[in-house]
Amino acid sequence: MEKTVLFSETLKGSGRTYFFDLKQASNGKPFLSIAGSNKNQEGEYERVRLLIFSDDFEKFAEVLGKAISHQADTQETA
C-alpha cells in the first residue's frame, strides 16, 4: 500500500540535497521522512533516510532546536 504524501519539500544545500516528506502511514498516523543525498567519490549518489514518527515529533523538534542553538552559540564565541 502506498503512503499518502501530506507535504513534500526539497532543500538544495552546498553539495547535498535534502528531502522532507510528511506521509500518512497505513494506520492513519503521520510520519516524517528526511533523506539526504550526495555524490560519493565514484560520482554515484548515496541516499540516507531517517523516519520520525508522530509520537516523537515534539521531542525531535525540541532536540533539533537545542542542537541548532548550541551551534549558533558556538559560532558567536568563535
pLDDT tens digit string along 25-40? 999 999 999 999 998 8
Confidence label for 73 from pLDDT (cuts 50, 70 and 90) = confident
Is pLDDT of 77 > 80? Answer: no
> Domain 4-77, CATH 3.10.450.700 — does that match?
yes
Q: What is the DSSP letter of 47?
A: E
* pLDDT recorded at residue 1: 53
Report residue 8 CA to chain centroid gap: 11
How far CA 27 is from CA of 6, 8, 23, 34, 62, in Å, comes to 15, 20, 11, 20, 25
Virtual torsion, Cα 60, 66, 69, 75, nearest 10 deg: -110
pLDDT tens digit string along 1-28? 567 999 999 999 988 999 999 999 999 9
Mean pLDDT of the chain: 92
